[in-house]
Amino acid sequence: MKARLIAALAVSLFATFAIARADEQATYYGPLSPAEKQFVASVTKDLMARYPHVADAERAGYVRYTSPDDTGAISYADQLWNADPTHPSQLWYDKDGNLMGADFSVPRPNGEARPELWGINPGRWYEFNGHVHYVIKDPSSGKTVYDQWIWNKDFQDAGGSLAKPSADTVVKLGRVPDANYISTIFEFPTQWDLIVWLTPHGDDPFHW
């Protein structure tokens, strides 16, 4: 997930309420192995060719749900979450619409161990717990507000469905006046997430 700003906030909230697990953060930040270097080079070449500009991602079904984070990245999700090296779950772009990086996710509905995939050290994966994202667009002004979310449990407790999240549940929770204010809504399920910078970013393309 990239979910740059939202994920960082989620981790912060977990710590605040003392319900975080030790494995939510990456645990390995060492030098890249040959296999990891090959993975980064391969996905960079492929994704830069297919999704160089934000319009390419939107045509492929990726939907924006964040404002720029502290790295300048704006996140777009495909809402599928079962990623492979050619189908990242998220792509992120700078303010000018140029591709910066990608997230590759593996659902973790039952506490599954860190993925051992694609030659990547398992310790490079982050865990993000399930929540529902939504985007507000004021019907009268057209103003859009990103970075909105609700924990899965709270959404379900309000009668919402995670399989088909409804704007009506957001209304019920008092977040917006009526359903017409919601332009995008989807579940971000509990998952393991691997971030990959596709543009230069220090010595570690797997760490924000």
Question: Per residue of the chain (208 residues), what is the pLDDT tens digit?
Answer: 444 544 444 443 443 333 333 358 999 999 999 999 999 999 999 999 999 999 999 999 999 999 999 999 999 999 999 999 999 999 999 999 999 999 999 999 999 999 999 999 999 999 999 999 999 999 999 999 999 999 999 999 999 999 999 999 999 999 999 999 999 999 999 999 999 999 998 889 998 8
For position 208, what pLDDT does the model report? 80
Other CB atoms closer than 10 Å to residue 39's CB: what's the count?
22
> CB neighbours of 61 closer than 8 A, spacing ≥ 6?
78, 79
Q: How far is C-alpha 188 from the geometric centre of its chain's CA atoms?
A: 7
Give the pairing type, strands 131-137 and 144-151.
Answer: antiparallel
DSSP string, 73-103: -EEEE-S----BTTB-SEEEE-TTSBEEEEE
For position 20, what pLDDT does the model report? 34
